[in-house]
Structure 1
Amino acid sequence: MDKKVQTTYPRPKKEILRIMRAADKNGQLLPVILEEFVQHTFSMPALWESREYFRKLGNEECVRYPVLFSHLALLSAMTGRLDEARAYVDAMEMALKYQASENTIYHEVCRCATEIVMPYTTDIRFLKDVFWLIEHGQVPVANLTLSASRPGILNGFRDFTRFGRYLEKYKDVITDTIEKLYGNAGKSVYEIMLAEWNYQKNDCFRALVLVTGTIPLIEQEQDMRCLFVALALQMKILIVNGQTKAAGPLVIKIRDRIHKTGWEELNTSLDALECLAACYDGRQEEVTEWLEHVAPDENHELYMMDVYAYLVKIRCYIQTGKYMVAHVLVQQLTVLLQQGNRPMDLCECYMLSAVICYKVNDEDRMFTELSKALEIAKKRQYIRLLADEGSCMAQMIFAYQKKYGTDGFTDKIMQFAAEVGRHFPDYLKSPIEYYEPLTKTEEAVLRLMGQGMSNSEIADILGKKTGTVKFHSNNIFKKFDVTNRQQAVNLGREIGLL
């Protein structure tokens, strides 16, 4: 007799899509959705990729099974449509009123477990729902997970980094609450959050001690999501302190764990983190490869679980000289993040917007965007968030202090950003910045060269002598370290001048 193959959950995204397509074709969509997304653990990417099938469900089906409103609310939150997400939660609450009394606790758990990960939920309501779950013994909550992007974000939506200053003061209460929510992995969750807080304050060594000390405990609990965040934080600390060679073995270790546990939803953030290491090292070929073939596509629906990857993608756009598309993406994210409780990601967006403005010599707007970032960063003590941008941040802060004066906070950022810059002089340096700048006349000569014009034709158009055009051409060759016109034109296209 054949042995029954044991299914491992969460299922891979491709397998879920195959199952959903077959169910839709055979008219079995509702029972299959209930089986795969209610009865078993599922990954967020699998839910996201199945969104078209959920949207085929009728209102009557959702009223009969109110937990499905929870999935629809999650999908709406993933796209940043928070009003729509709220409406689904309200619909679920309404539907629960018509359910049998014996199901009251179960359905209240569904509502609370959904609301605690919604960005629109206030902190007071969040805590009220959390303590209700604890009081009724409905913990640990399966879908209350650490994000792949920030240790303090639950399910990629809520950001608790702003409460970092209270972590040590209220350690016992916080630890007890987290352990009840997360189960045995709770102590490790607290240690990771504390490590992130210490890292942001620039106590990198203590952060590293905390995170490396808790990794063996997490491995014992076999909690892949917590382990990923711990290893990713360890990797980031090593990278910004000049230890990018240590990133390679960690990436291999994390990929091995993901493969063994099936948590493929972590791959996107891991790929982005690996690409960020390449950005710091100035490995442009790897940056371009990730940007063109691996990075998430923002030209369709923005998937909020990939915010970390989008933020890395903005940096890649900057590093490859694609300032216009970088600006478009940062504005898209900013609009969505302003709606939710995401101060760290919003601060990062303002900072990256300032970097883009700095690169295109829009100083006034650079000051405006940098001021927004500094306002949030100073309030939340996000020192490393800004300082990790290296030389570019140091130069912006220098200009900012020259205009607005110095203070202790910007002095710290200047100091630490300069240290990162010394480790990584090529970070955020676009291709054009590797060459001595051309004068406006030289740029005009290069553009006309690119149109195939001779020196005499260029001279006629610019109203100059042919000898003068030759002089400017030779200057271009010297600055570009090339020997002829075609090489100069090719390089001009490569670095974005043409």
Structure 2
Amino acid sequence: MAQARVFIAQNRPNEAIGLLSHLEETARSAGRMGRVIEILLLQALALREIGDSEHAILALTKSLALAEPGGYVRVFLDEGRPMQLLLAQWLAHAGASPLREYAIHLLSQFDAEPHVVTAAVEKVSPTGDPSASSGQALVEPLSQRELEVLHLIALGRTNQEIARQLIVAPGTVKAHTASIYRKLDVANRTEAVRRARDLGILP
């Protein structure tokens, strides 16, 4: 498990995914469901790193389903900001999932900006159907990683601070920022935040 975390921290998510798949089989065979939950969470984060949002959400759904009956909280909080953002993404697509209230509760336990929870909840209508996001007005939608960078830009974080928080190289942050500017058709951070708020991407 520790080695998988090292792989993720070193930006080697594919190696982490391979190792975690093996660890999951072993933990399931031993009936160690608490460990399975943690492994699935790490799988979800690693999958998100390679841009595979569909399977990241699936892995997170599996972990939520296993964790909800036992009321697990700490295992999610220990993964920090990346898990908070992934939970918010999951919630935005949750519809009428029976796990929705549990996900909202988990998000409310993070010590981060309340707007992350609010924005995620508001993306789901009272009937449980995902509402159309204003961000869909973009010709080319922002990726999950670009959305994370954009949220941090809106909070006034520098590229170095964003790089440290997301555990990526500063050059990677610059590349994501350039892509955000291109997709939003803006020239700087202030314009990007204003445009994103106009589109409903940011609260």
Taking structure 1 as the reference length, the TM-score comes to 0.24
- Would you say the 8 A contact 2:14–2:50 is kept in 1? no
Q: CA deviation at 1:326?
A: 0.7
Letter matched to residue 411 of structure 1: I
Aligned-pair CA distance for 1:433: 6.0
> How many residues end up aligned between the 2 structures?
128
Q: Does 1:377 align with 2:67?
A: yes
Q: d(CA) in 2 for partners of 1:425 and 1:416?
A: 22
- Equivalences for residues 319-468 of structure 1 within 5 A: 319-405=9-95, 407-419=100-112, 429-432=166-169, 435-438=172-175
Distance 2:55 2:9 in 1: 20
Deviation at 1:426, TM superposition (A): 7.2
Any residues of structure 2 matched to 1:55-454 within 5 Å, and which? 311-405=1-95, 407-419=100-112, 429-432=166-169, 435-438=172-175
Task: Identify the residue that residue 283 of structure 1 maps to in structure 2.
Answer: none
Superposed CA RMSD in Å reads 2.9
In 2, the alpha carbon distance for the partners of 1:431 and 1:363 equals 18
Return the alpha-carbon distance in structure 1 between the equivalents of residues 109 and 62 of structure 2.
Answer: 20
Deviation at 1:431, TM superposition (A): 2.9
SS at match of 2:110: helix
Does the aligned pair in 2 maintain the 1:319–1:429 contact within 8 Å?
A: no
What TM-score, normalized by structure 2, do the two folds share? Answer: 0.55
8 Å Cα contact 1:393-1:417 kept in structure 2: no
Q: Secondary structure at the match of 1:368?
A: helix
The one-letter code sitting in structure 1 at the alignment partner of 2:175 is L
For 1:431, the aligned partner's letter is V
Task: Give, in whole Å, the separation in 1 of the partners of 2:95 and 2:111.
Answer: 18
CA contact (8 A) 2:77 2:110 kept: yes
User: In the alignment, is the contact (CA less than 8 A) between 1:384 and 1:413 conserved in 2?
Assistant: no
For 1:99-149, what per-residue CA distance to the aligned partner results, in whole angstroms no more than 9, with x for missing partners? xxxxxxxxxxxxxxxxxxxxxxxxxxxxxxxxxxxxxxxxxxxxxxxxxxx
Match in the other structure for 1:250? none
Structure 2 residue ranges without an equivalent (≥5) = 114-160, 180-203
TM-fit CA distance, 1:415: 2.3
AA aligned opposite 1:414: L
CA shift in 2, pair 1:394/1:433, >3 Å: farther
